Amino acid sequence: MVWTFIARLVLGLVLSAISYALSPRPKVEKPQAAGLDDFTLPTAEEGRPIPVVFGTVLITGPNVVWAGDLRVDPIQKKGGKK
């Protein structure tokens, strides 16, 4: 009874090792650095149509019409050594 268990265990380990040794290896390519052409960034172009969508829709390369209440505050230097 014990010998059949040990024989099956050894047979399973041997078959697993053979299966691992014969399995194909994936071909890994060297990664390339991303360039600016790989991204779709929002633009602001005159004459470009503004899509009207309802619900949740993914828009690739949207045309920016309004970006919020932007204002410029000057940097005021306080303190420090003279």
Q: What is the pLDDT of residues 43-64, one digit of tens each?
A: 777 888 877 889 998 887 777 7
Phi, psi of 43 (to 5 degrees): -125, 170
CA atoms within 13 A on the CB side of 35: 2
Pair of tokens at residue 68 = 């919020």
* 62 belongs to a structural domain: yes
Distance CA 66, CA 63 (A): 9
* 16 belongs to a structural domain: no
> What's the pTM value of the predicted model, to 2 decimals?
0.34
Q: What is the pLDDT of residues 6-37, one digit of tens each?
A: 999 999 999 999 999 999 988 888 888 777 77
Q: For the chain, how many structural domains are there in total?
A: 1
* 20 belongs to a structural domain: no
Based on its alpha-carbon atoms, the radius of gyration of the chain, rounded to whole angstroms, reads 32
Asked if 42 and 63 touch (Cβ cutoff 8 Å), the reply is: yes
